[in-house]
Structure 1
Amino acid sequence: MAHPAVIAHRGYAGIAPENTVEAATRAAAHAEPAMLEIDVQPAACDTPVVIHDERLEGSRDGRPLTDTAGLVWETPLEKLRETHVLGTDATVPTLAEFLAAVPETVGVNVELKNPGTTELRVGESLSPADRDQRREVWQPFVERVVADCRTFGGDLLFSSFCEGAIVALRAVADYAVAPLVWDDLEAGLEIARRYDCEAIHPPRNAIAGTHLAETDYAGFPAAEPAIDVLEVAHAEGRTVNVWTATNWVQFDALAAAGVDGIVADYPGLARDASD
């Protein structure tokens, strides 16, 4: 069986408060993760902070995401840094604070989640005019994210569901980048080709020939995908990192299919065949 790279989802969100410094240090203490995956958005002052949801009053399995409310990009940085995550002492960190807690032996997958707008074009392959317009929306935020990443000595991989974020990154930096796929494999592959992306990140049920394709997830129906994204991406020289494995059965199926990396919620899902 193949041994794909393990990417700790939000810093192993299954065992620690997601996207926090505590999650970073706990995930990095494990031997297996090659990378930590995180989400970035701007605070009200435009400083990049590490958090997934647009709104602070979200929930996880019935538990409040934070102890405050409002849009992330309308919230002062001082308040965000005092906002507790999932009922713990951990608070929302800046991107710079998060990266400072990660050893350079562990890479970071920075997902460009939102530049501070409710008008996102998620999963779309855009027309040339729309690409220019969305690049202008994203570029100021992407420039700030890249500036915070310059001092990090480990590997960096950027990803986004939004083509505007990818075109903005290509305009300001020479980092590896991957489109995240949402409900349209062909659009994801088009974007990957358009910007010569080093990788592509489809959801777990978009991998042909696995039992996971028989489940609804991430905008895809329970059906064998029409495109073998693994075959096509590998033929084009791209890495395929799949999200998100929540148990070892899913991890094993994806590893057996030959994916290059698996975003995982928990440590210990990568098992040897003898285990």
Structure 2
Amino acid sequence: MTRTVDGEPLLFAHRGFAGENPENTVAAAEAAAGVESTAWIEIDVVPTADGDPVVFHDAALSGRGGPPGAPDDRGLTDETGVVWETDTETVTAAEVLDSGETVPLLGDLLDAVPSHVGVNVELKNPGIDASLLRPDEALGPDALAELKGVWRPFVDRVVNVAERRANDLLVSSFHEAALAATREVSEYPVAPLFSESIGDALAIARRHDAAAVHPPIDAIRGAPCFDASRFGDADVVDAAHDAGLAVNVWTVETWYQTDRLAAAGVDGVIADYSTVRER
């Protein structure tokens, strides 16, 4: 998981380049895989009420911005309800962004990705109230053991689906227990996502022998939107590299951001557009 030979950061297609394609769909995966510079396709997974892993970002089928089940004006799909409280047949029939594409099973999307393109699977939720999951936090032993048990059944299903495919797989999550469960049942590399504490992210990475960390773009010193009020003097790139970890940054929108991130030494950019490496 190092830089490409031309010295540019590896390109991750965020939800299959969500700025160009109907996010997290088979069509998005196929389009992203068809871009020569795409190294990885990043997707999100959650379970249905039947326990099947599907590729979807949100709790609510109807949209985002409110509590689970509350629609908003984006109309993410033409269905309502919480994904993990809804049967598989209904979820996988839901149309995404009026595109004609529907919410795919994880296996169906993986089948659409050529074996030379890696897949970054983000574990979003195992099927419970998100407020109980304690994201972005290095957990104590008791909490980690308890939440690992909550994640384990879903992680088992995801791993079982992924192991049937030849693609390289990277598992990321905001939830330490999800990564711990993954490492317990597979040899897939893992990467903590974080939005707040660099220290917690590095601690999680060390505990679970991670391959990378996935910080937000405003955590990168030298990035156009670096937020010193939140991240102070910390240099996540240097700290991660010192620990032998790659740094893949989310979410990148422009070539200028990519240019500055490359200068800062990041290893990958998780981008909404396939053009972020073009000037």
SS in 1 for 2:79: coil
Counterpart pick for 1:203 among 210, 216, 221 = 216
Residue in structure 1 matching 2:254, options 247, 251, 274: 247
Percent identity over the alignment is: 48
Match of 1:7 in 2: 12
**5+ long unaligned stretches in structure 1:** 215-220
1:10-29 matches, within 5 Å, as 10-29=15-34
Deviant stretches of 4+, over 4 Å: 59-62, 221-224
Alignment partner, residue 78 of structure 1: 89
Q: Paired residue for 2:276?
A: 269
C-alpha contact 2:222 2:261 (8 A) present in aligned 1? no
Whole-Å separation in 2 of the counterparts to 1:146 and 1:54:
21
1:147 matched to 2:147: no
TM-score, normalised to structure 2, is 0.92
For the aligned residues, what is the CA RMSD? 1.5
| CA distances 1:171-228 after superposition (whole Å, capped 9, x unpaired) | 10011100001211111011011111111000001011332204xxxxxx75553321
Give runs of aligned pairs for residues 1-275 of structure 1, distance below 5 A: 2-59=7-64, 62-118=73-129, 119-214=132-227, 222=229, 225-271=232-278, 275=279
Equivalent residue letter for 2:182: L
Contact 2:120 2:171 in 1 (8 A): yes
With structure 1 as the length reference, what TM-score do the two structures score? Answer: 0.93
Q: Output the CA distance in 1 between the equivalents of 2:233 and 2:44.
A: 29
Q: How many residues align?
A: 266
1:62 shift after superposition: 4.4
Say if 2:223 and 2:257, in contact at 8 Å, map to a contact too.
Answer: no
Q: Which amino acid aligns with 2:262?
A: A
Aligned equivalents of 1:57, 1:225: Cα separation in 2: 38
Structure 2 alignment gaps of length 5 or more: 1-5, 66-71
